[in-house]
Amino acid sequence: MNRIVVVGYGPTAHRLVETLTSKGFGGTVTVIGEEPRPAYDRVHLTSYLSGTSADDLTYEVPSGIVTRLNTKVTGIDREARRVALADGGVEPYDVLVLATGSAPFVPPVPGAEHAYVYRTIEDLDAIRVAAKDAVEGVVVGGGLLGLEAADALRALGLKAHIVEMSPWLMPRQVDEGGGSVLKSHIEGLGLGVHAGAGVQEVVTDGSGQVTGLRKPDGSMVDAQVVVFSAGIRPRDELARSAGLEVGPRGGIVVDGGMLTSDPAIYAIGECALAGGMVYGLVGPCNTMAEVAADRIMGGSSTFEGADMSTKLKLLGVEVAQFGAMEGALDVTYMDPVGGVYKKLFISDDARTLLGGICVGDASPYTQLRPFVGKELPASPSDLLFSGAGAQLDLPDEAQVCSCNNVCAGDIRTAIADKGVTDVPGLKACTRAGTTCGSCVPMLKQLLEKSGVEVSKALCEHFTYSRAELFDIARVRGITTFSELIGRHGTGRGCDICKPAVASILASLHNGHVLEGERATLQDTNDKFLANMQKNGTYSVVPRIPGGEITPEKLIVIGEVARDFGLYTKITGGQRIDLFGATVDQLPAIWRRLVDAGFESGHAYGKALRTVKSCVGSTWCRYGVQDSVGMAIALELRYRGLRSPHKLKSAVSGCARECAEARSKDFGIIATEQGWNLYVGGNGGFKPRHADLLANDLSTDELIRTIDRFLMFYIRTADRLQRTSTWLESLEGGLDYLREVIMEDTLGICADLDAQMERHIATYADEWAATLDDPEKLSRFVSFVNAPGVPDPSIVFASERGQIKPVMAR
């Protein structure tokens, strides 16, 4: 058994050859793949359309493996033990492994030949080209891959539709209730959802150009691009023609050792029919590969089915399913307004967890999935809604990583016997967390519960946390990244530590972010003092404190938008955003705005964004305090304050809360006696109401407390940590925060006050300073080697009397 030939080079084949190599197989392994490249990461395939290169996705071929790429196998000669190739050659084998995968199912409807599928890098290249001249696209299939494909069309600038034959989306993962919540999420993003609908025809014009999709009821979905993602079919044609046993509905029949009806041929992955089932998830396919490798090496491993649980984030929506989707009893929670649906299925004696579904909030998944089939460790409602699952102790046999079949016992063994002390070490030792990454939070918890202090290192270049680096830079007066990494780090830095340190230095010293070395540390948005949009243009967001603006300034914004052809929108933060500016236009636009008295709104930075307000006591008959005046004072006080994450605030003039202050990082609500201060709130995907920190404060007390709250947060929060998660992770919580910033138990309040006063005293508008500096202005060109030449890839269409991007490039 010196020659192994593997037909197909996808992720499952890659896991096979990796395992054979690690087990020390001494013969030759030849992998024959139809695609022009080795195996690549299909789990993150969609990222290819957002800038990830094919090389970044491609796995490294293990040492000693022979690859024959761009090569098709046309037949198997079982008697001679060789495979025939399309180029006329042959490849002999002692053991043959079929890893031919699956093919997308395209229903046999008229016009289907003009549609696309969503399977390979070449498929995505073709879709990208087709999208250039398209306005709308439709995906047939509302499963996992179908939603990914719809998101890809949306990212390419198309209005996307999803057509799903079942009554709701993702019918294999969620029930009708979960499907309803998921539909609301997706429609809220502007996608069309057509559930309970089939396909009668892909409609084209006389030249073969697609114009839409006709449903069986005769109605049309307008589209210039149609993508089929309606399921898969095992690629078993080689096995079938060679006389191997296949299932009645397809799939190469294998036993528990992945052996086919021929003792010299194995089948693994999506082409295999194991226990009467074809598996399409990465976890079971990886297990098949490992079982086959072990059997080839003389072992006795057996494939005994697989956990089909899954946790994903699709179109920004968390979806998870584990165990069974039915039970004698169930506990259900549904919040249509918040877009959350959770359901547990339980045995008839209410003691055994059978499965669960989560839509909109998948936080219970990691903790509860390992308990499927086991006695409930707490009451179902506590497990589902209170977060008590975080305290559960998993049994050793509980599966932690379904992608790579890693149990809690494997993790504990790596920690106790192999001395692993961090998550990267666990990944390297066990493979857990290396595929989809959904089990990484559990890895951290297992480390902590094993008595291991989890590393807080910012990245591989600094062993310190962000908070520790902040104090080092503050105490030692460090003003540059070079000095900090030279004295307290290693290497040259990375895209994690550079922006984080840039933020720390900006918080401490308030210098211009494009000054000297700092310019090289910034993220894309900060490099051009503007937010990059989906088509490569930028937004211009002048500050409008408290939402109050004079007619003269309104006229200036309107004239600038008109003269530069920009899209204008009044935002929820009470300011006016201008979209569609090319990078070379930014200085000219800002020159006019600065001359009119505007300054940067810092929409591009991890800094204070806005302080929203109602009209307050000045105009409103219910108002008890001047909320507009307070909002303006706070926004001008904290403008330009760099922090670990963006900051938002609001001031409401009475308890009716029209400014929505309790959804902000710090929110103020007026009372008859003064002001109530709330902290740690946020909107977004996982909204959180802010907590009441103090009530009936005077104006001076309010401002002093906010000063200290912000500076304490900036000092101690982790990189990219919102105030909400910072507050939740703060040991001692809200009570401890009060002790520190109101009772001064740590003796640091004077320092926090002084630090805020330094920020206020040294603030300068970044755009005004940029316009006065020729060196800074030199970076604002579309092409470095051709200043003044516009970017021809930026194309707009018209919608409701304004521009809109045709596609993202």
Q: What is the pLDDT of residue 388?
A: 41
Task: Please measure the distance between the N-terminal and C-terminal CA atoms of the chain and give it in whole angstroms.
Answer: 50
Q: What CATH number is associated with residue 292?
A: 3.50.50.60
- The per-residue DSSP string of 505-521 comes to HHHHH---TTSGGGGGG
- The reported pLDDT for the residue numbered 229 is 92
**Is the domain of 621 the same as that of 763?**
yes
Radius of gyration of the chain, Cα coordinates, nearest whole angstrom: 29
Q: Identify whether residues 506 and 482 lie together within a single domain.
A: yes
Res 453: pLDDT: 67
Q: Is the pLDDT of residue 271 over 90?
A: yes
In the predicted structure, residue 350 carries a pLDDT above the cut 50: yes
Lowest mean per-residue pLDDT among 86-90, 127-131, 373-377 = 373-377
Question: How far apart (Å, rounded) are the C-alpha atoms in residues 593 and 554?
Answer: 11
Q: Is 25 left (phi over 0), alpha (psi -120 to 50) or beta?
A: beta
Q: pLDDT for 722-735, tens place per residue? A: 998 898 878 778 88
CA dist list (Å): 642 to 360, 651, 656, 717: 31, 21, 31, 12
Average pLDDT on 236-241 reads 96
Same domain, 545 and 434: no
| For residues 463-479, average pLDDT | 89
| 426 φ/ψ sector (left φ>0, alpha ψ -120 to 50, else beta) | alpha
- Residue 151 in any domain: the answer is yes
Query: What pLDDT does 237 receive?
Result: 96
Pick the last residue of a domain from 454, 485, 503. 454
User: What whole-number distance in Å separates Cα of residue 593 and Cα of residue 775?
Assistant: 20
CB-neighbour burial class of residue 127 (10 A; exposed 0-12, middle 13-18, buried 19+): buried
pLDDT > 70? residue 120: yes
> Can you give the CATH number for the domain in which 327 is found?
3.30.390.30
Which of 76-85, 661-670, 694-703, 776-785 is predicted with the least confidence, judged by mean pLDDT? 776-785
Residue 244 maps to a domain: yes
In a domain, 460, yes or no: no
* Phi, psi angle pair for 733, to nearest 5°: 60, -140
**CA pair distance 665, 408, nearest whole angstrom:** 37
Cα 420 to Cα 230, 405, 428, distances in angstroms: 43, 19, 10
Q: How far apart are CA 607 and CA 638, in angstroms?
A: 9
Note the helical H segments in 164-321.
176-188, 237-241, 282-296
Q: Give me the number of domains the chain comprises.
A: 7
Segment 763-783, tens digit of pLDDT = 999 999 999 999 888 888 765
Same domain, 211 and 262: no
Domain end call among 481, 505, 522? 522
pLDDT tens-digit map of 564-581: 999 999 988 889 999 999
Backbone angles phi, psi at 243, to 5 degrees: 85, 15
User: What pLDDT sits at residue 219?
Assistant: 94
pLDDT band at residue 283 using 50, 70 and 90 as cut-offs: confident
Dihedrals phi, psi of 613, to nearest 5 degrees: -150, 160
Greatest Cα-to-Cα distance within the chain, rounded to the nearest angstrom: 93
What is the pLDDT, as a whole number, of residue 785?
Answer: 47
Say yes or no to pLDDT of 317 above 90: no
Q: In this predicted structure, what is the pLDDT of residue 528? A: 82
Q: Are residues 596 and 614 in the same domain?
A: no
User: Are 586 and 693 members of one domain?
Assistant: no
Vertex 187: Cα angle to 182 and 192 (nearest 5): 115
Q: Length of the chain, please? A: 809
Residues 447 and 537 in one domain: no
- The answer to whether residue 301 is domain-embedded is no
Query: Does residue 793 register a pLDDT over 70?
Result: no
Q: What is the pLDDT of residue 475?
A: 87
What tokens appear for 795 in the block? 């194309």
* Share above pLDDT 90 across residues of the chain, in percent, rounded to a whole number: 57
Examine residue 270 and state whether it is found in any structural domain, yes or no: yes
Q: Which of 23-37, 578-592, 778-792 has the lowest mean pLDDT?
A: 778-792
Average pLDDT over residues 650-676: 94
Task: Name the 3-class secondary structure at 632.
Answer: helix
- Looking at residue 59, what is its pLDDT? 92
Per-chain mean pLDDT for the chain? 88
pLDDT at 53: 82
pTM score: 0.57
What is the spatial distance between Cα 131 and Cα 145, in angstroms, rounded to a whole number? 18
Token couple for 389: 């699952």
Position 783 scores a pLDDT of: 52
302 inside domain:
no
Give me the pLDDT at residue 391, please.
52
**CATH code for the domain of 646:** 3.30.413.10
> Among the listed ranges 218-227, 356-365, 521-530, which one has the minimum average pLDDT value?
521-530
Do 120 and 182 sit in the same domain of this protein? yes
Tell me how far apart the alpha carbons of residues 624 and 368 are, in angstroms, rounded to a whole number.
48
Q: Is residue 709 part of a domain?
A: yes
Residue 461 lies in a domain: no
- Candidate from 136-150, 271-285, 398-412, 520-534 with smallest mean pLDDT: 520-534
User: Where does a domain end: 408, 425, 454?
Assistant: 454
Same domain, 164 and 199: yes
Q: For 445-459, 488-502, 643-657, which range has the lowest pLDDT when averaged over its residues?
A: 445-459
Q: What is the 3-state secondary structure (H, E, C) of 751-766?
A: HHHHHHHHHHHHCCCH
Q: Are residues 448 and 588 in the same domain?
A: no
In this structure, are strands 802-805 and 66-68 parallel, antiparallel, or unpaired? unpaired
Q: Which three-class secondary structure state does DSSP give residue 445?
A: helix
What local confidence, expressed as pLDDT, does residue 16 receive? 96
Q: 3-state class of 191 per DSSP?
A: coil
Mean pLDDT (whole number) for 252-257? 96
**Domain limits at 436?**
393-454
pLDDT digits (tens, 9 = 90+) for 687-719: 788 999 999 999 999 999 999 999 999 999 988
Residue % of the chain over a pLDDT of 70: 95
- 472 and 504 belong to one structural domain: yes
**pLDDT above 50 for 526:** yes
- Mean of pLDDT values over 195-205: 93
Banded pLDDT at 784 (limits 50, 70, 90): very low
In this predicted structure, what is the pLDDT of residue 789? 56
Long-range (24+ apart) CB contacts under 8 A made by 483-492 are 485/461, 488/462, 488/464, 489/461, 489/462, 489/463, 490/460, 490/461, 491/460, 491/461, 492/461
Residue 695 and residue 752 in one domain: yes
